[in-house]
């Protein structure tokens, strides 16, 4: 019998405004449930406001046999606190971590920092976690060295097995929506766009074929883009509409439109099914994939808003990031997107290591020039697994990182020749220069759907404006 209680945990965050269902944990939960593990729970600590202190009480009450935690580079301090209190509550509980940080960081460094964990996984964990549980609780004769992606200790040494990437995504069950019900989540994560409630979240592919220097996604899901079939995606959408009454879907892929033919097939099937839903490309699309013909089809299928990665207003910095896009194209595509009636958001990075003050000035001017409805301005983070992180370490620009201070709203690394105070001033100038304009304020007010939506937007604004360490 597979009766052991498995508790998957999305860690607590003090930001509390960008709360979306943890789809990666949803996939792990549904994969194990399909294999017969019946006592599973997903705890979203930010959604439920379970701080590390409260987590100890939770573990004492729920008595899990296994705790699985997702780790991002910007939350490892809190994850460590939660793991430590869990082990205090029950020293025998099996603790396993995974996610982007665990996938990208050196295995010995990982196991040294998280000294209380039992195991970690790199890459995609569905197959490996199932094998580990079968070995530990079902007495199956599976050597630890045969479990894909597993990081483990043996006789004082740390070992790491080759990662596994699932090629047939249609073979995976849909994520366990019932463990993260759509109605429990905020109306608009980070105060962004939404039109209709309830909202459902979809991942239709894994992997990203691009090689932006600041991004570490390839460490988790690989460079090769693996895609669910259009029929499989439509089946999940139909199921979610019927079971949860979903009226809007947010697409959370690394890049939904990277493979044009597959995107067209999905969109055409959405149109053919006459779902009458709204769609938002929430996780960032590449502008060079959004031609007019595709945009028209997206509009027909129900897309009303698109979030795009711009990153900088400096062509020099765009080139250094390996974006392979031109400012002129960005401006032209944003105009075309706006002309077709899409709400448009853009993402920018402030403090990229090669920036100078002229680059920051160009970002300030470019972000104001573009016809965007929203824009996010996050400080650069040296993410393990990214090309820039490796370059910074090899060039001596960083000698290790204080992971306890890693946050997108905090300065981790300053560009050469720019002080922390100067970078903070530029960040504030760029942020306020974009948002405190009549057109932007009017657009935000027009898009408000509820007091809760306004609260999320204000929380995000206040967080950006709070003193930065």
Query: What are the pLDDT digits (tens) for 108-128?
Result: 999 999 999 999 999 999 999
pLDDT at 402 over 70: no
Residue 409: pLDDT band (50, 70, 90) is low
Decide: helix, strand or coil at residue 210: coil
Among 375, 301, 302, 362, smallest CA distance to 334 is for: 375
Q: How far is CA 344 from CA 10, 295, 304, in A?
A: 29, 13, 9
Q: How far is CA 219 from CA 73, 117, 123, 190, in A?
A: 13, 21, 7, 25
In the prediction, which pLDDT does 189 show? 63
Q: What is the mean pLDDT of residues 415-439?
A: 95
- Read off the pLDDT of residues 90-101 as tens digits, 9 standing for 90 and up: 999 999 999 999
Task: Render the burial of 254-293: b for 16+ CB within 10 Å, e for the rest.
Answer: bbbbbbeebbbbbbebbeeeebebbbbbbbbbbbbbbeee
Report d(CA 24, CA 175) in Å as an integer.
8
- Read off the pLDDT of residues 236-287 as tens digits, 9 standing for 90 and up: 999 999 999 999 999 999 899 999 999 999 999 999 999 999 999 988 899 9
pLDDT at 468 over 60: no
Residues facing 308 on adjacent strands: 285, 346
Report d(CA 375, CA 310) in Å as an integer.
10
pLDDT at 455 over 90: no
Contacts of 408 (CB under 8 A, 6+ apart): 74, 378, 379, 381
Can you give the residue ranges of every domain in the chain?
6-160, 181-465
In the prediction, which pLDDT does 451 show? 77
- Read off the pLDDT of residues 162-188 as tens digits, 9 standing for 90 and up: 999 999 999 999 999 999 999 898 776
Q: What tokens does 465 get? A: 């404006």
In the prediction, which pLDDT does 344 show? 94
In the prediction, which pLDDT does 456 show? 72
List the single range of 127-141, 322-336, 374-388 with lowest mean pLDDT: 374-388
pLDDT at 428 over 90: yes
CATH class of 6-160: alpha beta
Report d(CA 68, CA 117) in Å as an integer.
10
In the prediction, which pLDDT does 469 show? 54
Decide: helix, strand or coil at residue 87: helix
Q: What is the mean pLDDT of residues 147-161?
A: 97
Q: What is the mean pLDDT of residues 142-164?
A: 97
In the prediction, which pLDDT does 397 show? 82
pLDDT at 359 over 90: yes
Other Cβ atoms closer than 10 A to 21: 26
What are the residue ranges of helices labelled H in 124-279? 126-137, 217-221, 230-244, 260-273
pLDDT at 334 over 90: yes
In the prediction, which pLDDT does 17 show? 59
In the prediction, which pLDDT does 403 show? 65
In the prediction, which pLDDT does 48 show? 94
What's domain 181-465's superfamily in CATH?
Answer: tm_1862 like domain (3.80.30.20)
Report d(CA 469, CA 460) in Å as an integer.
17
Q: What is the mean pLDDT of the chain?
A: 92
In the prediction, which pLDDT does 408 show? 63
In the prediction, which pLDDT does 327 show? 98
Percent of the chain with pLDDT over 70: 93
In the prediction, which pLDDT does 345 show? 94
pLDDT at 190 over 60: no
Q: What is the mean pLDDT of residues 19-30?
A: 95
The beta-strand segments (E) located in 55-149 are 66-70, 94-98, 119-121
Among 267, 287, 382, 279, smallest CA distance to 330 is for: 287
In the prediction, which pLDDT does 410 show? 77
């Amino acid at each position: 019998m597979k009766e052991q209680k498995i508790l998957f945990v999305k860690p607590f965050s003090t930001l509390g405004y960008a709360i979306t269902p943890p789809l990666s944990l949803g996939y792990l939960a549904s994969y194990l449930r399909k294999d017969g593990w019946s006592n599973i729970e997903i705890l979203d600590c930010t959604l439920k406001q379970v701080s590390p202190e409260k987590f100890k009480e939770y573990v004492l009450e729920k008595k899990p046999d296994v705790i699985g935690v997702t780790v991002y580079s910007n939350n490892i301090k809190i994850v460590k606190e939660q793991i430590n209190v869990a082990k205090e509550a029950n020293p025998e509980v099996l603790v396993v971590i995974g996610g982007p940080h665990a996938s990208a960081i050196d295995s010995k460094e990982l196991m040294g920092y998280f000294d209380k964990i039992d195991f970690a996984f790199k890459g995609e964990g569905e197959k490996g976690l199932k094998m580990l549980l079968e070995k530990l609780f079902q007495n199956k004769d599976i050597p630890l060295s045969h479990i894909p992606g597993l990081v483990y200790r043996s006789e004082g040494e740390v070992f790491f097995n080759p990662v596994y990437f699932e090629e047939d995504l249609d073979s995976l069950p849909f994520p366990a929506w019932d463990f993260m019900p759509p109605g429990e989540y905020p109306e608009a994560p980070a105060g962004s766009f939404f039109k209709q409630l309830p909202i459902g979240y979809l991942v239709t592919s894994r992997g990203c074929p691009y090689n932006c220097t600041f991004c570490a996604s390839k460490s988790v899901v690989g460079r090769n883009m693996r895609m669910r079939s259009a029929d499989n995606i439509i089946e999940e959408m139909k199921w979610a509409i019927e079971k949860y009454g979903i009226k809007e879907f947010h697409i959370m892929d690394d890049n939904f439109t990277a493979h044009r033919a597959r995107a067209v097939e999905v969109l055409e099937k959405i149109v053919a099914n006459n779902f009458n839903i709204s769609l938002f490309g929430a996780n960032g699309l590449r502008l060079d994939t959004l031609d007019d013909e595709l945009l028209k089809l997206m509009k027909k299928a129900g897309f009303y808003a698109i979030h795009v990665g711009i990153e900088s207003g400096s062509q020099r910095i765009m080139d250094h990031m390996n974006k392979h896009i031109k400012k002129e194209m960005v401006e032209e595509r944003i105009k075309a997107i706006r002309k077709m009636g899409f709400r448009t958001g853009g993402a920018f990075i402030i403090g990229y290591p090669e920036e100078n003050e002229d680059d920051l000035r160009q970002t300030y001017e470019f972000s104001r020039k573009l016809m965007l409805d929203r824009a996010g301005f996050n400080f650069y983070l040296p993410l393990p697994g990214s090309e820039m992180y490796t370059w910074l370490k090899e060039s001596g620009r960083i000698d290790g990182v204080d992971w306890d201070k890693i946050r997108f709203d905090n300065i981790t690394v300053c560009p050469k020749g720019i002080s922390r105070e100067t970078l903070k001033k530029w960040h504030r100038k760029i942020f306020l220069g974009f948002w405190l304009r009549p057109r932007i304020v009017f657009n935000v007010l027009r898009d408000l759907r509820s007091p809760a939506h306004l609260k999320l937007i204000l929380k995000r604004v206040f967080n950006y404006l709070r003193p930065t360490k």
